[in-house]
């Protein structure tokens, strides 16, 4: 490991740099990973463009990246389940303390959780990265590094579909056909949804959704009324959906989600928009439509790995662009422009394969 630890570091809003950092030393319960594939997320781009997301503000240089996989190159003294050479997927959220949320299985809600590339915690868009070994999951031989990195967005879909109660025969509306809307589609179908309608402003995104298994696509035009769109969804399905998964965070889309959902159904809010939104809450209340929040994920990596290994979900078509780590700024610009679906950075100079 004589080579330097090239890292993608955000210094401040708009100031993204490639710089050499020391190779970290793993603690007793950590592993050192040689990073292989790291996807760029909308949140990475948002921090770069705006310097903050809500209350999370970049106040000091931060390594970006949290959709990642790599190979174990050094193992902490207390680690038993991993060895040098193991290929692993990284769950970026690792609780720091045994609080009530960790005890009851909802550790994603722990206020002190470590999370890659969320200020002040560094991410893993670099050559070498150390992480809690308990949150590194061994990949089967038939699951690629890129699939391993895509478990992170896939996990958002799993958590959303679980929280929304998607099950055999469910009909589902998904608002937004970006990367997260698409993984929600894949997971909903794998969990037994009989029919899925997906909406977006951009027809080219809906074309991809159709290829990934969406039964109906609905192109939204700016200015369409929420109740009008809800009626279009019902017309497509022949009935209102049991579940709506809202992936845009746009106020009008959240309104559509509530109006569109069948009485007694569930709306899951995945997309994050402004702090305050106006919604038809009384409509939801008198129809017993449950509105459920989604914050990241928990306990999803084992299921995701099992689904990928068994071929129940195919995430490979989501990767549309690849760049070597040295071209990170170009890769970020590609994502910012909304080109393709998922941009993947390749961190191992000697292995640029998927």
| End-to-end Cα separation, the chain, in angstroms | 22
DSSP state of 118: B
CATH number of 158-293: 3.40.50.720
Taking the domains of the chain in order of start, what are their residue ranges?
5-138+315-346, 158-293
Q: Which residues does 229 contact at the CB level (< 8 Å), separation at least 6? A: 199, 218, 220, 256, 259, 260
Bridge partner residues of 174 (DSSP)? 198, 245
Burial (Cβ within 10 Å: 0-12, 13-18, ≥19) of residue 233? buried
| Sequential pLDDT tens for the chain (354 residues) | 546 899 999 999 999 999 999 999 999 999 999 999 999 999 999 999 999 999 999 999 999 999 999 999 999 999 999 999 999 999 999 999 999 999 999 999 999 999 999 999 999 999 999 999 999 999 999 999 999 999 999 999 999 999 999 999 999 999 999 999 999 999 999 999 999 999 999 999 999 999 999 999 999 999 999 999 999 999 999 999 999 999 999 999 999 999 999 999 999 999 999 999 999 999 999 999 999 999 999 999 999 999 999 999 999 999 999 999 999 999 999 999 999 999 999 999 999 999
CA 246 – CA 232 distance, rounded (Å)? 16
Question: DSSP string of 16-66?
Answer: EEEEEEPPP---TTEEEEEEEEEEPPHHHHHHHHHSEETTEE--S-EE---
CA dihedral 83→86→91→97, nearest 10 degrees, is 0
Fold assignment, 5-138+315-346 = Quinone Oxidoreductase; Chain A, domain 1 (3.90.180)
What are the φ/ψ torsions at residue 80 (nearest 5 degrees)?
Answer: -115, -30
> What pairs with residue 1 in β-bridges?
none
pTM: 0.97
């Amino acid at each position: 490991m004589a080579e330097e630890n090239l890292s993608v570091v955000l210094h401040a809003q708009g100031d993204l740099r490639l710089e050499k950092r020391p190779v970290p030393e793993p603690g007793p319960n950590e592993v050192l990973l040689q990073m292989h594939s790291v996807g760029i997320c909308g949140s990475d781009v948002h921090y770069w463009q705006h310097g903050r997301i809500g209350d999370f503000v970049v106040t000091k240089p931060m390594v970006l990246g949290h959709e990642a996989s790599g190979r174990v190159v050094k193992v902490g003294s207390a680690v038993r389940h991993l060895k040098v050479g193991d290929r692993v997927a990284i769950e970026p959220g690792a609780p720091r303390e045994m609080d009530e949320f960790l005890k009851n299985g909802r550790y994603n809600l722990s206020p002190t959780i470590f999370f890659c590339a969320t200020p002040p915690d560094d991410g893993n868009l670099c050559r070498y990265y150390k992480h809690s070994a308990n949150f590194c999951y061994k990949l089967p031989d038939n699951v690629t590094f890129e699939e391993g990195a895509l478990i992170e967005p896939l996990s958002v879909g799993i958590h959303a579909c679980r929280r929304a109660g998607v099950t055999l025969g469910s009909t589902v509306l998904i608002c937004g056909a970006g990367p997260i809307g698409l993984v929600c589609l894949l997971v909903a179908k794998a969990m037994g949804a009989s029919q899925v309608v997906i909406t977006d402003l951009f027809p080219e995104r809906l074309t991809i959704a159709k290829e990934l298994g969406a039964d109906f696509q609905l192109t939204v035009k700016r200015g369409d009324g929420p109740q009008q769109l809800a009626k279009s969804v019902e017309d497509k399905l022949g009935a209102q959906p049991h579940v709506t998964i809202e992936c845009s965070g746009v106020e009008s889309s959240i309104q559509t989600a509530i109006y569109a959902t069948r009485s007694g159904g569930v709306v899951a809010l995945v997309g994050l928009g402004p702090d305050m939104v106006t919604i038809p809450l009384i409509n939801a209340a008198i129809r017993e439509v449950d509105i459920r929040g989604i914050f990241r994920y928990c306990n999803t990596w084992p299921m995701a790995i099992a689904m990928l290994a068994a071929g129940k979900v195919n995430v490979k078509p989501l990767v549309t662009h690849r760049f070597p780590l040295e071209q990170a700024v170009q890769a970020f610009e590609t994502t910012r422009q909304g080109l393709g679906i998922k941009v993947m950075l390749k961190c191992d100079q000697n292995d640029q394969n998927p």
